Chains A and B, each alone.
Chain A
């Protein structure tokens, strides 16, 4: 029986009947086009109201809670930069001891996750706490004014990996955090991007259903730190996925179980040239050309390693899942 022969579903009525929950209210102080603010809103909407949040020091904490104001409609605590995994673990232990089912979420940026908070995150995962840890990855210490982190991509310019006679931006590779997380063999870990909101929602809901540690890495452009127009945040994030530089993958117990296929991989230069942090790579300079080749090779390595190249047009691939670009239509 074909479901579509029934009376058309009253979409508008259905929408109205859905409880609309917003975890972060508008009016906070994020920059225009902030990827992290959008990602956090999407995550909290999908997670729903029965959660408790541990938030690391960083932009998200600063722009949502200038005392005596707060954007949060959720129970929320900021303690320190490097202890978010442990604060969340403590919350979860307490809720468990009290017999409550409230889910604990932990939010950190890439500095608080890849670098300074990595130990407490690893401990929390190893001990199997029922916590969804979300890393909003904007690839540098943006709150302190754009310093390199271990998540900063190779060759990107930051204030502590500047470009000069002897340097072409960051000398080291972006840390492969998901592989390290995968080595903890937790039930579910995934990467996502603000350019693909329905994919974020799907992954958050998946994690919410699991009782145990889960991890979500969300690529979140920072217009100020990356040097692009705030209106281009979604476009930039989409290109990071479509070039293969930021693969969207899902891992169960450390095993790769899903990827978002790339219908037509784009050259990395499409992504890089929109951003000031890579502008030195477009000068007439042999080192610049070499770094561009290097970044293209990294993207191709991702495409091969994760098997990102799709065989046919897939409604869930990097073009099909891109509902934002099509004004909300399901797929082209």
Chain B
């Protein structure tokens, strides 16, 4: 049955359906409603778990790490400055190969201070060694949260479920909440092979010399590459159970034979899909959404780009002094294609700047009127800047 739920409320309920035993919570806008909703579920006796109200995001990530190695399924969530504060622990969780699921309610990173949505936070920790899945809408956020536990526990890799702050977390949508029976059938009880146990003592997180470090890094990299198959399998099995697929690694919609394609991550895809329907006169356009950013779905992306001559890469973050982050990775992936598309790379919607419907015709106009220029922040109003910064 479909219910109108706020994104954060739906995510909280999805987490509860996964029966976590330890939850670490520290509030930060726009993640706060998620941990508030979970706290209420605990207070009402609808979720029985240890709810640890920590004193920082650094400790939130640390508490779930300690709990996961002690044998419990865990959950935490954060955003923006919180993601950066916990970044040292994020690397540590992944390097120790501990299955943890967290939500990143994507938000810009200060300075300048902004509480609004972009994806600079999760992009900043893309090298931490986590699986990163980006959600287009709140139904996907629900389904992906549940899938994430199965992926994490099968691969011994942590999963970050990225949902656009406010755009998703604070928006009411009709959501089909799965039943407890469905989730129980999909997700077996938590099992971690290296659980700490006084009867079988082991040492975790030890010092590794140069004799072993490259091997540890190689196996971590390999595990992430191999995780692609688990992401595909989780979505397929979930679809068999509920009838809903959430896009596996890469979701493609629109005109399959189009020579122009727009690629993006997260909820912006909804705006583009609506605009595309409103503007059939602008010709066939393919929409490509990277659901998985780590592991980077090179093979699936290349298939999606077959026949494309112009690829617009829209992203909601940047690497100052470098350019587009997603753009650079997409270009690197396309490098081995026989006839790679021209890539037009723009950052949009930074710090919560609206991404209006009319961005679609303007983007297509830009693409058709010029050969690719270097990465740019789209829609930037140079009149607001002093001359030397333009």
A interface vs B, CB < 8 Å?
A: 49-52, 54, 61-62, 64-68, 70, 72-80, 82-83, 85-98, 102, 119-120, 122-123, 126-127
Judge whether B56 and A75 touch: CB under 8 Å: no
Judge whether A75 and B52 touch: CB under 8 Å: no
Judge whether A65 and B63 touch: CB under 8 Å: no
Asked if B71 lies at the interface with its beta carbon under 8 angstroms from chain A, I say yes
How far, in Å, is A49 (CB) from chain B's closest CB?
A: 6
* CB-contacts of B198-230 with A (<8 A): 198, 200-209, 212
A-B contact pairs, 30 of them (CB 8 A): A50-B198, A51-B198, A52-B196, A65-B203, A74-B201, A75-B196, A75-B202, A77-B204, A78-B206, A79-B62, A83-B58, A87-B62, A87-B65, A89-B54, A90-B22, A90-B64, A90-B66, A91-B67, A91-B196, A93-B22, A93-B50, A94-B71, A94-B74, A97-B49, A98-B21, A98-B71, A102-B198, A119-B56, A120-B58, A127-B52
Judge whether B59 and A119 touch: CB under 8 Å: yes
Judge whether B205 and A78 touch: CB under 8 Å: yes
Nearest residue, chain B, Cβ from A53? B196
Most B Cβ at <10 Å: residue of A73, A86, A90: A90
Further pairs besides A73-B201, A90-B24, A119-B59: 10, Cβ < 8 Å: A62-B207, A66-B209, A67-B212, A70-B203, A85-B59, A89-B59, A93-B66, A97-B21, A98-B72, A127-B53
* CB-contacts of B55-97 with A (<8 A): 55-56, 58-59, 61-72, 74, 88-89, 92, 96
Which one of A79, A96, A123 contacts B50 once the chains associate, using CB atoms below 8 Å?
A: A96
* Contact residues in A for B56 (Cβ distance below 8 Å): 119-120, 123
How far, in Å, is B203 (CB) from chain A's closest CB?
A: 4
Q: How many residues on B have C-beta within 8 angstroms of the other chain's C-beta atoms?
A: 43
Asked if B354 lies at the interface with its beta carbon under 8 angstroms from chain A, I say no
A76 to B204, CA, bound (A): 6
A122 to B200, CA, bound (A): 31
* Contact residues in B for A66 (Cβ distance below 8 Å): 206-207, 209
Q: Give 5 nearest A-B pairs by CB, closest first.
A: A90-B66, A86-B62, A75-B196, A123-B55, A94-B72
How far, in Å, is B313 (CB) from chain A's closest CB?
A: 35
A73 to B203, CA, bound (A): 9
* Contact residues in B for A62 (Cβ distance below 8 Å): 207
* Contact residues in B for A85 (Cβ distance below 8 Å): 59
Nearest residue, chain B, Cβ from A95? B70
A68 to B68, CA, bound (A): 22
How far, in Å, is A101 (CB) from chain B's closest CB?
A: 10
* Contact residues in A for B181 (Cβ distance below 8 Å): none
Asked if B381 lies at the interface with its beta carbon under 8 angstroms from chain A, I say no
* Contact residues in B for A94 (Cβ distance below 8 Å): 21-22, 50, 66-68, 70-72, 74
* Contact residues in A for B92 (Cβ distance below 8 Å): 79-80
Judge whether A77 and B205 touch: CB under 8 Å: yes
Judge whether B66 and A87 touch: CB under 8 Å: yes
A70 to B71, CA, bound (A): 21
Nearest residue, chain A, Cβ from B69? A77
Nearest residue, chain A, Cβ from B213? A67
How far, in Å, is B92 (CB) from chain A's closest CB?
A: 5
* Contact residues in A for B44 (Cβ distance below 8 Å): none
A120 to B55, CA, bound (A): 7
Nearest residue, chain A, Cβ from B55? A123
* CB-contacts of B292-312 with A (<8 A): none
Judge whether B208 and A67 touch: CB under 8 Å: yes
A65 to B70, CA, bound (A): 19
Asked if B197 lies at the interface with its beta carbon under 8 angstroms from chain A, I say yes
Given contacts A52-B70, A86-B54, whether A79 and B63 have CB atoms under 8 Å apart is no
A62 to B58, CA, bound (A): 23
* Contact residues in B for A126 (Cβ distance below 8 Å): 55
Which one of A72, A80, A82, A91 contacts B203 once the chains associate, using CB atoms below 8 Å?
A: A72
Most B Cβ at <10 Å: residue of A72, A86, A92, A119: A86
* Contact residues in A for B65 (Cβ distance below 8 Å): 79, 83, 87, 90
* Contact residues in A for B24 (Cβ distance below 8 Å): 90
Judge whether B50 and A97 touch: CB under 8 Å: yes
Judge whether A89 and B66 touch: CB under 8 Å: yes
Interface string of B21-34 (1 = CB under 8 A from A): 11010000000000
How far, in Å, is A137 (CB) from chain B's closest CB?
A: 22
Most B Cβ at <10 Å: residue of A50, A68, A74, A79: A79
Judge whether A77 and B72 touch: CB under 8 Å: no
A93 to B196, CA, bound (A): 14
Judge whether A89 and B70 touch: CB under 8 Å: no
* Contact residues in A for B72 (Cβ distance below 8 Å): 93-94, 97-98
* Contact residues in A for B64 (Cβ distance below 8 Å): 90
A73 to B197, CA, bound (A): 11
A94 to B51, CA, bound (A): 10
Judge whether B67 and A80 touch: CB under 8 Å: no
A31 to B306, CA, bound (A): 63
A77 to B92, CA, bound (A): 12
Judge whether B96 and A79 touch: CB under 8 Å: yes
